[in-house]
């Protein structure tokens, strides 16, 4: 069973969207919600909570539920979350944030795995693997915040992608491109094993700021208006603020989050200085952001989304070559292009369920 806390009309939408997955008990206030957690045997498996409640804050209620019932998955939802709200949701251990208005398919994709008690949801499986790797490689106790950021990254991905594999591909491709660059003697001293490990996580967080962009903009077919594109561009700065919030609470520097801050903020900067948000040019753009920027563009062109038809591998390479020295670091393009088949094969391997790349 699932508990929905918020306005009656919103709860009705949640109940309708999840009718085939689980019964939904709707309540309006924090006080009513907490009554559902008095008896351990009757506690709901999942709770969806409005940020704004008539008798208090949804974040406060989430805190209480996480204390009373740690096994209950808590999602927060609202129309326009602030960076402070996302930061607090991250620190309270919430499973994610859902932006309104809801899209049924996105809502179902996020909730269904958490209602399956026989298997772990994909985001949590990914987080466990990342935690193990981070412990072995760094010996630092930063796993909780990194895992929370990764959960937000997966949430952003599910809202912006039909395949749900963009995060995995960008992470795998970025690490492979950096490894090939090292082999070619390009930035070989900077690209250490620790650098590759950090890049694998930092690159997966590149679009984390899209959790604050409205669904109707992210999933709009066709060209965005100038005002809509301006809102999309904000995801770099918003994502950077979220990562900075996590970094600010660390006693010592975390190299993964340090790199993530660079990637999240600067992966849409362009070699000729025409990118955003800071108009950086050439070597002013951090190396990790130059790598992820090329890979993000490559995967976007090879993906079929509501606003973007998939391009062929040949057309994609032609576009990357055309934009070399304009959008992309020309030396990185020269390393990437001869290894196209390697990345195509990796893409097919990572996306077996959708068979997107044929």
Residues 137 and 106 in one domain: no
pLDDT exceeds 60 at position 137: no
Whether residue 169 has pLDDT greater than 50: yes
More confident residue, 31 or 101: 31
What predicted TM-score, i.e. pTM, was given to this entire model? 0.62
Residue 120 pLDDT level (bands cut at 50, 70, 90): very low
CA distances from 73 to 32, 90, 121, 157 (A): 18, 13, 11, 19
Q: What is the pLDDT of residues 227-283, one digit of tens each?
A: 999 999 999 999 898 888 877 766 557 888 899 999 999 999 999 999 999 999 999
pLDDT at 251: 52
- What's the pLDDT score for residue 150? 60
Query: Residue range 3-9: average pLDDT?
Result: 80
Same domain, 244 and 318: yes
Domain annotation covers residue 321: yes
Domain that holds residue 106: 2-115
- Co-location of 21 and 80 in the same domain: yes
Q: How confident is the model at residue 341 (pLDDT cuts 50, 70, 90)?
A: very high
* Beta carbons within 8 Å of 153's beta carbon, 6+ residues apart: 167, 204, 205, 206, 207, 208
Domain of 176, CATH number, reads: 1.10.3210.10
Q: Which of 133, 148, 311, 111 is nearest to 245 (CA)?
A: 148
Confidence of residue 216 (pLDDT cuts 50, 70, 90): confident
| Rounded average pLDDT over 60-79 | 84
Q: Is residue 253 situated within a structural domain?
A: yes
Position 161 pLDDT exceeds 60: no
Q: CB neighbours (10 Å) of residue 168?
A: 17
Check if the beta carbon of residue 56 is closer than 8 Å to that of residue 85. Answer: no
The average pLDDT across 128-157 equals 50
Asked if 289 contacts 262 with a C-beta cutoff of 8 angstroms, the reply is: yes
Q: What pLDDT, on a 0 to 100 scale, did the predictor assign at position 14?
A: 87
Residue 70 included in any domain:
yes
Count of domains for the chain: 2
Do 244 and 176 sit in the same domain of this protein? yes
109 and 134 inside one domain: no
On whether both 127 and 89 belong to a single domain, the answer is no
**Rounded average pLDDT over 1-10:** 78
Cα–Cα distance for residue pair 79/102, rounded to 1 Å: 9
Q: Is residue 355 part of a domain?
A: no
Task: Give bridge partners of residue 305 from the DSSP assignment.
Answer: 308
pLDDT of residue 181 exceeding 50, the answer is: yes
Q: What pLDDT score was predicted for residue 157?
A: 55
Each residue of 186-202: pLDDT tens digit?
Answer: 999 999 999 998 999 89
Do 200 and 342 have their domain in common?
A: yes
* Domain co-membership, 207 together with 158: yes
pLDDT per residue as tens digits for the range 283-300? 999 999 999 999 999 999
DSSP letters along 14-55, please?
A: HHHHTTTT--EEEESSHHHHHHTTSSGGG--SEEEEESEETT
**Residue at a domain's end among 92, 115, 138:** 115
> Catalytic residue at 210?
yes
Residue in 118, 132, 182, 210 annotated catalytic = 210
Burial profile 37-62: b = 16 or more Cβ within 10 angstroms, e = fewer? beeeeebbbbbbbbbebeeebbbebb
Q: State whether 128 and 171 are in the same domain.
A: yes
Residues 188 and 50 in one domain: no
- The answer as to whether 144 is a domain residue is yes
The maximal CA–CA distance of the chain, rounded, in angstroms, is: 64
CATH number at residue 8: 3.40.50.2300
């Amino acid at each position: 069973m699932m508990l929905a806390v918020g306005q009656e009309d919103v709860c009705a939408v949640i109940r309708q969207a999840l009718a085939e997955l689980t019964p939904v008990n709707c309540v309006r206030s924090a006080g009513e919600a907490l009554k559902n957690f008095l008896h351990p045997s009757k506690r709901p498996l999942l709770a969806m909570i409005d940020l704004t409640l008539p008798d208090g804050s949804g974040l406060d209620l989430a805190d209480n539920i996480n204390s009373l019932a740690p096994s209950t998955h808590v999602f927060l939802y609202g129309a326009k979350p602030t960076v402070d709200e996302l930061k607090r949701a991250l620190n309270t251990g919430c499973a994610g944030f859902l932006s309104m208005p809801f899209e049924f398919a996105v809502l179902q994709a996020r909730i269904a795995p958490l209602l399956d008690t026989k298997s772990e949801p994909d985001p949590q499986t990914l987080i466990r693997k990342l935690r193990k790797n981070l412990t072995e490689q760094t010996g630092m106790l930063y796993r909780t915040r990194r895992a929370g950021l990764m959960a937000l990254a997966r949430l952003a991905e599910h809202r912006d992608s039909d395949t749900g594999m963009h995060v995995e591909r960008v992470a795998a491709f970025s690490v492979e491109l950096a490894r090939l660059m090292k082999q070619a003697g390009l930035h070989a001293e900077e690209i250490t094993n620790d650098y590759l490990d950090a890049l694998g996580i930092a690159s997966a967080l590149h679009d984390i700021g899209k959790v604050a962009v409205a669904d109707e903009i992210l999933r709009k077919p066709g060209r965005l208006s100038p005002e809509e594109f301006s809102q999309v561009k904000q995801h770099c700065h918003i994502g950077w603020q979220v990562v900075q919030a996590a970094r600010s609470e660390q006693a010592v520097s975390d190299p993964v989050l340090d790199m993530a801050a660079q990637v999240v903020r600067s992966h849409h900067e362009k070699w000729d200085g025409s990118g955003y948000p800071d108009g950086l040019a050439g070597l002013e753009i951090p190396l990790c952001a130059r790598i992820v920027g090329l890979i993000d563009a490559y995967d976007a062109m090879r993906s079929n989304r509501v606003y973007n038809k998939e391009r062929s591998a040949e057309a994609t390479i032609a576009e990357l070559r055309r934009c070399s020295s304009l959008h992309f670091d020309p030396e990185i393009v020269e390393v990437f292009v001869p290894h196209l088949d390697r990345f195509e094969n990796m893409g097919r391997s990572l996306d077996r369920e959708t068979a997107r790349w044929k």
